[in-house]
């Protein structure tokens, strides 16, 4: 790895912050047809219905207006001392219809400006190629990632951005939270299902095409710049057994494998042996060619990136599992040892250490935490300040456990706080589920001035990074 400084920073994604959904020649993305509030879950679970419904207000259309305010926002990230910023490139900003003959020059120029701005401050970009942003045109034409032609379109898009940004970007992430295809297939893969078909087959077929596309991107990327570093990206969080009943333990192992499945392929280059039984039991048969297997084998990732918000809890007792609630898209039983966030996500800093050790034991490749954070309903006080002590407490506890995992021997590239500036929530479409060090005056109904205000956690995180820098200076790094 060229980087020897630990990459402290933050993470955002185009679909949740840029807005300007029709500006600069941008085409629509699948996220652009998801409304906010209660209707969002329904829209996400039935893309066909979502495509034919006018919901009126769509939070992604304006986002937090990062498209126009990126200079101000990046200046704030620089003030925080960020060494890295994770962004995503919006595929339909580059190819408005996903597979146009020529890329959209105005879209490319937007990211030229972003990378130039980051370079000005010495901030390393970490770039997700596809973060819940499949072009809507490909969803309409092919039903999303269920069709191999989307792989070709993705690879063309990759070639264009690799050529264009090869001197700016080292760290690429091929597909955000690749395991999301099994949980929220509309958002993760733009999947449109046909009446009466076996959904599991469609999901695993789409998953296979995403895995192939990811390997294809790595192949193309390494030809263009051998210094590129490629990561897969997992929505992580260990699944614990509810009791020491071996059946519960077995069930937790099975659920963990549902997620590891993807990373097993991306890190090792072949389908894990247990996948045969999963496919058999689900009655899934998918198209995997000899060429696909070769491509997967020859193009494994350099590092394992992941998001971590919470651990999960499962049981083999199906009746008990009726009490499970969906946190971060994953159903979990309530863990009596853990507090929950206001959105019901279990807060488990030690779970981060467990997850990191589990991933490192399994793959022995460097890890990269590219999302961690607390969604909370911050209030602006009468004096205009925001006292988000709960966020400081959450992050502090997770950073402590992250350091413990590093002492355990885990190799870690960096730590990026999700939604370092408030942005639209992916699952709920709310603005009120805030993660940032920087408050954005934008409300759930689309009102607000978009003004940026530093929260209390801003100074705290700035100190965390500054102290680490002093330590590195002392060591002469």
Is 170 near ligand BGP (CB under 6 A)? no
Stretch that binds ligand BGP, among 221-229, 318-326, 427-435, 463-471 (CB under 6 A): 427-435
In the set 425, 431, 436, 438, which binds ligand BGP (CB under 6 A)?
A: 425
Stretch that binds ligand BGP, among 41-49, 91-99, 420-428, 447-455 (CB under 6 A): 420-428
Token couple for 20: 């300007």
Is 100 near ligand BGP (CB under 6 A)? no
d(CA 164, CA 109): 10
Token couple for 469: 């820098």
The neighbour count for residue 230, using CB atoms within 10 Å, is 24
Q: Half-sphere exposure of 40 toward its Cβ, with a 13 Å CA cutoff? A: 22
Instruction: Give whichever of 260 and 435 is closer to ligand BGP, judged by the CB atom.
Output: 435
Is 433 near ligand BGP (CB under 6 A)? yes
Instruction: Give whichever of 158 and 235 is closer to ligand BGP, judged by the CB atom.
Output: 235
In the set 214, 242, 299, 307, which binds ligand BGP (CB under 6 A)?
A: 307
Smallest gap, in angstroms, from Cβ of residue 294 to ligand BGP? 30
DSSP output for 127-190: EES-SS--BHHHHHHH-STTSTHHHHHHHHHHHHHHHHHTTT--EEESSTTTTHHHHSHHHHH-
Instruction: Give whichever of 117 and 133 is closer to ligand BGP, judged by the CB atom.
Output: 133
Is 330 near ligand BGP (CB under 6 A)? no
Active-site option among 177, 238, 251, 430: 177
Among this protein's residues, is 101 annotated catalytic?
A: no
Which residues, other chains included, contact 94 with Cβ-Cβ below 8 Å and sequence gap of 6+?
Answer: 103, 104, 107, 108, 157, 160, 161
Is 235 near ligand BGP (CB under 6 A)? yes
Is 427 near ligand BGP (CB under 6 A)? yes
Smallest gap, in angstroms, from Cβ of residue 424 to ligand BGP? 7
Which residues, other chains included, contact 80 with Cβ-Cβ below 8 Å and sequence gap of 6+?
Answer: 10, 420, 437, 458, 461, 462, 465
Smallest gap, in angstroms, from Cβ of residue 418 to ligand BGP? 5
Is 90 near ligand BGP (CB under 6 A)? no
Distances (CA, A) of 7 to 336, 367, 370, 417: 34, 12, 10, 11
Which residues of the chain form contacts with ligand BGP (CB under 6 A)? 13, 16, 176-177, 235, 307, 328, 371, 375, 418, 425-428, 433
């Amino acid at each position: 790895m060229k980087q020897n400084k630990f990459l402290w920073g933050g993470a955002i994604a185009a679909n949740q912050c840029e807005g300007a959904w029709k500006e600069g020649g941008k085409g629509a993305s699948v996220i652009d047809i998801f409304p906010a509030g209660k209707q969002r879950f329904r829209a996400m679970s039935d893309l066909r219905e979502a495509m034919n419904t006018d919901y009126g207000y769509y939070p992604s259309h304006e986002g937090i207006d990062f498209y126009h305010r990126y200079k101000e926002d990046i200046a704030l990230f620089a003030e925080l001392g960020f060494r890295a910023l994770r962004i995503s490139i919006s595929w339909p900003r580059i190819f408005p219809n996903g597979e146009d003959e020529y890329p959209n020059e105005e879209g490319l120029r937007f990211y030229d400006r972003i990378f130039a701005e980051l370079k000005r401050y010495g901030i390393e970009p970490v770039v997700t190629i596809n973060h819940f942003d499949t072009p809507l045109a490909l969803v309409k034409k092919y039903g999303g990632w269920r069709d191999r032609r989307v792989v070709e379109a993705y690879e063309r898009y990759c070639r264009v951005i690799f050529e264009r940004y090869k001197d700016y970007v080292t760290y690429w992430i091929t597909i955000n939270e690749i395991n999301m295809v099994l949980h929220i297939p509309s958002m993760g893969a733009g999947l449109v299902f046909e009446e009466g078909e076996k959904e599991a087959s469609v999901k695993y077929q789409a998953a296979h095409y995403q895995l192939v596309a990811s390997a294809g991107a790595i192949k193309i990327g390494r030809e263009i710049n051998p210094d590129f570093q490629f990561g897969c990206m997992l929505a992580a969080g260990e699944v614990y057994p509810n009791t020491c009943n071996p059946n519960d333990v077995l069930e937790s192992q099975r659920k963990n494998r549902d997620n590891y499945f993807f990373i097993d392929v991306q890190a090792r280059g072949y389908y894990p042996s247990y996948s045969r039984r999963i496919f058999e039991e689900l009655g899934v048969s998918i198209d995997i060619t000899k060429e696909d297997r070769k491509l997967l084998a020859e193009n494994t990732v350099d590092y394992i990136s992941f998001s971590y918000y919470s651990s999960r809890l499962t049981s083999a007792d199906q009746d008990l599992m009726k009490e499970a609630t969906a946190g971060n898209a994953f159903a979990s039983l309530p863990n009596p040892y853990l507090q929950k966030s206001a959105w019901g996500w279990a807060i488990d800093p030690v779970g981060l250490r467990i997850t990191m050790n589990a991933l490192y034991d399994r793959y022995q490749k460097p890890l990269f935490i590219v999302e961690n954070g607390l969604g909370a309903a911050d209030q602006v006080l009468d004096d205009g300040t925001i006292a988000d002590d709960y966020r400081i407490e959450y992050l502090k506890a997770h950073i402590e456990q992250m350091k413990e995992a590093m002492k355990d021997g885990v190799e870690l590239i960096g730590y990026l706080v999700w939604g370092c500036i408030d942005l639209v929530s992916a699952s709920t479409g709310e603005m009120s589920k805030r993660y940032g060090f920087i408050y954005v005056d934008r409300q759930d109904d689309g009102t607000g001035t978009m003004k940026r205000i530093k929260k209390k956690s801003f100074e705290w995180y700035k100190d965390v990074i500054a102290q680490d820098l002093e330590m590195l200076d002392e060591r002469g790094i």
